[in-house]
Amino acid sequence: MTISARLKSYLDDNRIHYTLMSHSPAYTAQASAATMHIPGKELAKTVVVKAGDTTVLAVLPASFHVNLKKLGELTGKPARLASEQEFIGLFPDCELGAMPPFGQLYNLPVFVDKALEYDEEIVFNAGTHRDAIRMKYSDFKRLAQPRVVEFAVKG
């Protein structure tokens, strides 16, 4: 099992209890949820969004989609999905598209959709397409200090 060294240090330094989960390689959030046999609403996917010239992380249940218009209203800037070329170098310790939802590790603001607050625990990528972390949502929220808002749509 592999975990981003930066993420592991951050969680361990803050004495956060977490479980590392290994699964078959999966390249979408819904596929990851299926391989781990967990509901898509419990898997928190991290989406890189450009809000004007600013890069932000949008964290939402795997079974939801980012409403870019709504997120743009919340940031005060037009929002769009970032291309892989725009974020390929932002997460040097992670596989492309497998970044964890802790923006402060990468100097990025984090927006979390309120739907994640309804689960006691969340699961998210640990920096690879084969490893994930399960932890209490309350610990995630305390560490990530995200802006919790509604910007996701089911489906």
Kindly report, residue by residue over 109-131, the tens digit of the pLDDT: 999 999 999 889 999 999 888 89
Q: Which residues contact 122 (CB under 8 A, 6 or more apart)?
A: 42, 43, 44, 116, 134, 135, 137, 140
- Higher pLDDT pick, 68 / 34: 68
What is the model's pLDDT at position 117? Answer: 92
Q: What local confidence, expressed as pLDDT, does residue 116 receive?
A: 94
The CATH number covering residue 45 comes to 3.90.960.10
Q: In 3D, which of 48, 30, 47 has the Cα closest to residue 39?
A: 30
Give me the mean pLDDT over the 141-151 stretch.
96
Kindly list the strands in the beta sheet with 18-22, ordered across the sheet, starting from the edge strand earlier in the chain. Answer: 18-22, 131-136, 121-125
Containing structural domain, residue 111? 5-154
Q: How many domains does the chain have?
A: 1
132, 89 contact by CB (below 8 A): no
Model confidence band, residue 30 (pLDDT cutoffs 50, 70, 90): low
Element (H, E) at 46: strand 44-51
Q: Is 25 helix (H, G, I), strand (E, B) or coil?
A: coil
Tokens (6 digits) for 52: 């004007």
- Residue-wise pLDDT for 76-117, tens only, equals 999 999 999 999 899 999 998 889 999 999 999 999 999 999
Q: Does residue 146 have a pLDDT over 90?
A: yes
Mean pLDDT of the chain: 90
Confidence of residue 34 (pLDDT cuts 50, 70, 90): low
Q: Which of 86, 31, 61 is nearest to 151 (CA)?
A: 61
Instruction: Report phi then psi at 102, rounded to 5.
Output: -100, 90
| pLDDT surpassing 60 at residue 1 | no
